[in-house]
C-alpha cells in the first residue's frame, strides 16, 4: 500500500486570516483568566468589567470577603454557601470575593455590611486599609467571623475596631464542647438563644479582654469550667462574641466558625445572622 504525503502551504493572501484567528484565541484566553482570577460573584461570577454595574445595582447588599494569607479554614466554603442562602431568604443581595482590590471607595459604597469570613494574615495594602477605614467611619457595617481576629495584627486601627486580637486557641483537645453563656437576650445576635447552650469549636483566647471597653458590648461568653485545654484560658472571664459601636459604623464579632458544622447549627446561625442584621442595619 502506498501512502502519499501532501505538503500544505499557505498562500501569502491567507496569512492575515490565520493571524486574526490567533489574536482572537489569545484574547479569549486572557479574558477567561481575568474573569477567573478577578471574579466578584453573587451566585455566578461577575467579571471585573461588569463588577461596577453589578455594584451600582446593589442597594443595601452584603459583601462576604474571605481572603486568606495564612491558614485557610475548610469551613469557609460551607460558610459562604450557608450565609448566601440565609441572606437570600431574607431578601439581602450577596456578593462574594477574595480579591482585596474590591476593597476600595468605589465598590464599598453600596454595601450595608462587609463580612470577614475567617480571613487570616496580612490581606490589605495601605490604600485598601484606608478605603475600609473610611467605609467604617462613615457608617459602614463590619462582621468578623472566627479568624477575622487573626488578621492584620500590625494594623492598629483594625485592632481598635475589634478591641483585641487572637492570641491562641484550645489544644489537647483541639475542639472541645464548651458551654456558651448568652449575656443578653435583647440584641438581634442573641435574641432567641438559650441562656446556656453547648457547642464544639476551636475556642479562641484573646490578647485582651474587651469587657468594659467604651462602645463594646459582650454578647456571648464561655464557661471556662466546662472544657479542657492545655493552654491557659482567659482567667475566668471569657467573652467570645461582642459588638463595637463607632460614632457612625457598627462592628460585630464572633469567634464561632472554625468547623463547618457551625453553619448548620441553628443556634450558631441565628447568632451570626442576627449579627449581620444588626451591623448592617438591615
Q: Rounded to 5 degrees, what are φ and ψ at 276?
A: -65, -45
The answer to the question of residue 179 being in a domain is yes
Nearest to 92 by CA among 110, 69, 118, 107: 110
Contact 244, 251 (CB under 8 A): yes
Taking only the tens of pLDDT, the chain with its 282 residues reads 433 443 434 454 444 544 555 555 555 544 444 333 333 433 333 333 344 444 444 456 999 999 999 999 999 999 999 999 999 999 999 999 999 999 999 999 999 999 999 999 999 999 999 999 999 999 999 999 999 999 999 999 999 999 999 999 999 999 999 999 999 999 999 999 999 999 999 999 999 999 999 999 999 999 999 999 998 999 999 999 999 999 999 999 999 999 999 999 999 999 999 999 999 999
Provide the pairing of β-strand 141-145 with 250-254. parallel
CATH code of the domain in which 275 resides: 3.40.50.880
Look at residue 201 and tell me if it is in a domain. Answer: yes
What is the C-alpha radius of gyration for the chain, rounded to an integer number of angstroms? 24
Domain count, the chain: 1
| Distance, CA of 161 to chain centre | 16
Residue 96 lies in a domain: yes
C-alpha cell at 18: 490565520
Distance spanning both ends of the chain, measured CA to CA: 80
Q: For residue 51, what pLDDT is reported?
A: 46
Residue at 24 is within a domain: no
Domain span holding position 77: 58-280
Residue 228 counted as domain residue = yes
pLDDT of residue 19: 53
Q: Is residue 25 part of a domain?
A: no
The pLDDT score that the predictor gives to residue 58 is 47
Q: Pick from 143, 52, 133, 147: which is nearest to 92 by CA?
A: 143
Instruction: Tell me if 30 is assigned to some domain.
Output: no
Torsions phi, psi of 197, nearest 5? Answer: -150, 165
Residue 180, burial from CB neighbour count under 10 angstroms (0-12, 13-18, 19+): buried
pLDDT at residue 231, rounded to an integer: 85
Q: Flag whether 71 is in a domain.
A: yes
Whether this prediction's pTM lies above 0.75 is answered by yes
Q: Which of 58, 38, 141, 55 is nearest to 106 (CA)?
A: 55
Amino acid at each position: 500500500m502506498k501512502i502519499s504525503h501532501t505538503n500544505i502551504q499557505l498562500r501569502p493572501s491567507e496569512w492575515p486570516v490565520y493571524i486574526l484567528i490567533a489574536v482572537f484565541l489569545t484574547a479569549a484566553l486572557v479574558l477567561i483568566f481575568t474573569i477567573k482570577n478577578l471574579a466578584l460573584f453573587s451566585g455566578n461570577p461577575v467579571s471585573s468589567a461588569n463588577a461596577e454595574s453589578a455594584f451600582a445595582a446593589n442597594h443595601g447588599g452584603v459583601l462576604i470577603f474571605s481572603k486568606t494569607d495564612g491558614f485557610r479554614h475548610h469551613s469557609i466554603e460551607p460558610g459562604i454557601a450557608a450565609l448566601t442562602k440565609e441572606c437570600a431568604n431574607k431578601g439581602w443581595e450577596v456578593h462574594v470575593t477574595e480579591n482585596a482590590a474590591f476593597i476600595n471607595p468605589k465598590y464599598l459604597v453600596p454595601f450595608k455590611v462587609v463580612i470577614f469570613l475567617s480571613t487570616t494574615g496580612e490581606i490589605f495594602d495601605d490604600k485598601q486599609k484606608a478605603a475600609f477605614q473610611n467605609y467604617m467611619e462613615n457608617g459602614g457595617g463590619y462582621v468578623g467571623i472566627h479568624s477575622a481576629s487573626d488578621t492584620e495584627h500590625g494594623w492598629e486601627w483594625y485592632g481598635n475596631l475589634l478591641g483585641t486580637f487572637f492570641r491562641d486557641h484550645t489544644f489537647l483537645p483541639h475542639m472541645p464542647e464548651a458551654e456558651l453563656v448568652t449575656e443578653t437576650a435583647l440584641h438581634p445576635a442573641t435574641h432567641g438563644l438559650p441562656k446556656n447552650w453547648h457547642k464544639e469549636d476551636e475556642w479562641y483566647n484573646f490578647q485582651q479582654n474587651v469587657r468594659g471597653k467604651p462602645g463594646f458590648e459582650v454578647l456571648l461568653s464561655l464557661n471556662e469550667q466546662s472544657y479542657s485545654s492545655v493552654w491557659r484560658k482567659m482567667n475566668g472571664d471569657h467573652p467570645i462574641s461582642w459588638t463595637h459601636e463607632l460614632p457612625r459604623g457598627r462592628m460585630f464579632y464572633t469567634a464561632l466558625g472554625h468547623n463547618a458544622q457551625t453553619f448548620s447549627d441553628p443556634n450558631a446561625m441565628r447568632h451570626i445572622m442576627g449579627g449581620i442584621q444588626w451591623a448592617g442595619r438591615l
